[in-house]
Structure 1
Amino acid sequence: MDAQMLGGALQGFGCDKDMLINILTQRCNAQRLMIAEAYQSMYGRDLIGDLKEKLSDHFKDVMVGLMYPLPSYDAHELWHAMKGMGTEENCLIDILASRTNGEIFQMREAYCFQYSSNLQEDIYSVTSGHFRDTLMNLIQGTREEGYADPAMAAQDAMVLWEACQQKTGEHKTMLQMILCNKSYQQLWLVFQEFQNISGQDIVDAINECYDGYFQELLVAIVLCIRDKPAYFAYRLYSAIHDFGFHNKTVIRILIARSEIDLMTIRKRYKERYGKSLFHDIKNFASGHYEKALLAICAGDAEDY
């Protein structure tokens, strides 16, 4: 029935955008994939292709983005971040700093399938220095899981402290190796030990000692380890307020996190910034694009 209604919405000269929003934002990703199969069977046409043909601008980006499985959507975003006019480093940071081992493995597989290209090689070709080294470490998807050793945490914290003091190439390598490979549980202990040793929060230390995309990536890793929803709330706030509404970032985060932790992200957003995510989207977006973003957020009336 959904496929039939979408077919009606997309056929002819006009396009019933409200119908598209009502269906595609109110179904989970697994259901949307089933709808796409039914659409293909019913009309002999690809639903994503028809959406791309009928829609335009950021509204098209939202509707098309909803139709990808999450690993394929991550692959899609990474591809476009590297293949456009200049590399969108913040897209690489947001995705690779926050995904689990399993998500990274699925993302690499999807990237290879969709683009007949190797994700690691493509990242290597468009980045450089310790920023590249850290991304290449993350893309391996080999972070330890569920392991914590208090004695080792003190040693790791000392290594991090020395890395922030010495800032040599070798120290930068040790810094990124610890942040990219130790388990979340272990790094919680490391960050506590770092505070005890240095009297300083590790994010403040990284910001003082390093700069550029390397610094931004290290901070993103730390923030994601501490509170991933809070990190994405911060990224949404920055995208909305610091860059004149950076549409790509807002769309990417809302779609990618919609079935994972978007409700918690909304909560963190309101706690930290005093206004709801709904409020800020309504202030900066408009038309069917605004309606689609708000529908993905899908909250109670009080959030408006």
Structure 2
Amino acid sequence: MKKTNNAPFSQQFQGTIFPAPSFDPVMDAQMLGGALQGMECNKDVLIDILTQRCNAQRLMIAEAYRNMYGKDLLMDLKESLSHHFKEVMVGLMYPPATYDAHELWHAMKGAGTDENCLIDILASRSNGEIFQMKEAYLMQYQNDLLQDIYSETSGHFRDTLMNLAQGTRQEGYADPAMAAQDAMVLWEACQQKTGEHKNMLQMILCNKSYQQLWMVFQEFQNISGQDIVEAINECYDGYFQELLLDKILCRQQKYTTFKYFIYFQDLGFHNKTVIRILIARSEIDLMTIRQRYKERYGKSLFHDINHFSSGHYETALLAICGGDVQDY
């Protein structure tokens, strides 16, 4: 039996956007008001302010803007901008839970479903984040998130998403004896692949704590001689496989989000995915994502953004990524 010698992932994650020093929301609101007036919007001012303030500061700017002009900054951005640049600027103005709700709604709205968006968000959020997301979803759209997921997806993929959207995962609990039992269940599920085994597999991955799953994955490799990621890749396919893999990678590495980037050279620049990840992770671990991206692909994230986007849209994305010229 092959035994892993990997240690638990413990690197300190780092974002790219931080609270701006000497912050003056009234002055920022006044500058944004001037930038949004007239026929030509001053997009450079929008980028300079909105990409260099943390989310909490942007919300304070929006309040100052409302008091100063009697108008909603978010609505003015929507009316004044267009295309992907608009998506970036508007996305920056949502609180995190509201932004998640916005993305989930649009992933399920109309014909077709963006399964990758559902996987990205629901596989990576904590219980508290999922609770806030569901509240924001209900408040914004007067719809229940669980009901919409149920109506827009199917099969074991739907069952797993529904489980995740409950937000009832164990937290801070670990039982070494139970880890060996769970690992055996996972191994049997990879061998048998029946509906019952799929249910047991997703129940373990969706409900066990980070600490517990780390031990489960170690035990799985001791039992099978195979890494859990390799086993899932061999035994399952489709969106169910992708969702399981996302859960495993989130548990193993505490959300190394570089995995969610589509490698631009192979699959093309998927704008909505890139925008969503850059905004959602900018204050959490985007600097770490940049580092992992370069390690994996041999090119910087800056390089590929520069290659596949242009104009103010490109400038905004690069500003959110932070860094110096040499990072390109």
Q: Who is 2:6 aligned against?
A: none
Q: Who is 1:73 aligned against?
A: 99
Q: Who is 2:319 aligned against?
A: 295
**One-letter amino acid of the structure 2 residue matched with residue 26 of structure 1:** Q
Q: Who is 1:275 aligned against?
A: 299
Q: Who is 1:63 aligned against?
A: 89
> Which range is displaced more, 273-282 or 23-32?
273-282
Structure 1 residue corresponding to 2:46, chosen from 6, 11, 20:
20
With normalisation by structure 2, the TM-score equals: 0.90
Structure 1 residue corresponding to 2:127, chosen from 101, 123, 136:
101
- Alpha-carbon distance in 1 for matches of 2:211, 2:127: 15
Query: Once the two structures are superposed, what CA deviation does each residue of 1:159-195 show, in whole Å capped at 9, x if it has no partner?
Result: 0000011111110000000000000110011001111
**Count of residues in Structure 1 that have an aligned counterpart in Structure 2:** 302
RMSD: 1.0
Q: Who is 2:270 aligned against?
A: 246
User: Which segments of structure 1 move beyond 4 Å, counting only runs of 4 or more?
Assistant: none
CA contact (8 A) 1:131 1:214 kept: yes
- Alpha-carbon distance in 2 for matches of 1:118, 1:229: 26
Q: What does 1:142-291 align with in structure 2 at a 5 Å threshold?
A: 142-230=168-256, 232-236=257-261, 238=262, 240-291=264-315
Q: Which runs of 5+ in 1 are unaligned?
A: none
- Alpha-carbon distance in 2 for matches of 1:28, 1:50: 20
- % identical equivalent positions: 80
- Alpha-carbon distance in 1 for matches of 2:221, 2:99: 37
Q: Which runs of 5+ in 2 are unaligned?
A: 1-26
- Alpha-carbon distance in 1 for matches of 2:323, 2:214: 32
Q: What does 1:79-158 align with in structure 2 at a 5 Å threshold?
A: 79-158=105-184
- Alpha-carbon distance in 2 for matches of 1:257, 1:188: 23
Shift of 1:117: 0.8
Shift of 1:91: 0.1
- Alpha-carbon distance in 2 for matches of 1:164, 1:30: 44
- The residue matched to 1:145 in structure 2 has which SS? coil
With normalisation by structure 1, the TM-score equals: 0.97
**RCO (CA 8 Å, sep 6+): is it higher in 1 or 2?**
2
Q: What does 1:49-60 align with in structure 2 at a 5 Å threshold?
A: 49-60=75-86
Query: Once the two structures are superposed, what CA deviation does each residue of 1:57-88 show, in whole Å capped at 9, x if it has no partner?
Result: 00000000000000000000000000033100
CA contact (8 A) 2:124 2:255 kept: no
**One-letter amino acid of the structure 2 residue matched with residue 105 of structure 1:** F
Shift of 1:274: 1.5
- Alpha-carbon distance in 1 for matches of 2:294, 2:65: 39
- Alpha-carbon distance in 2 for matches of 1:274, 1:162: 37
Higher helix share: 1
**One-letter amino acid of the structure 1 residue matched with residue 223 of structure 2:** I
CA contact (8 A) 1:282 1:290 kept: yes
- Alpha-carbon distance in 1 for matches of 2:326, 2:173: 41
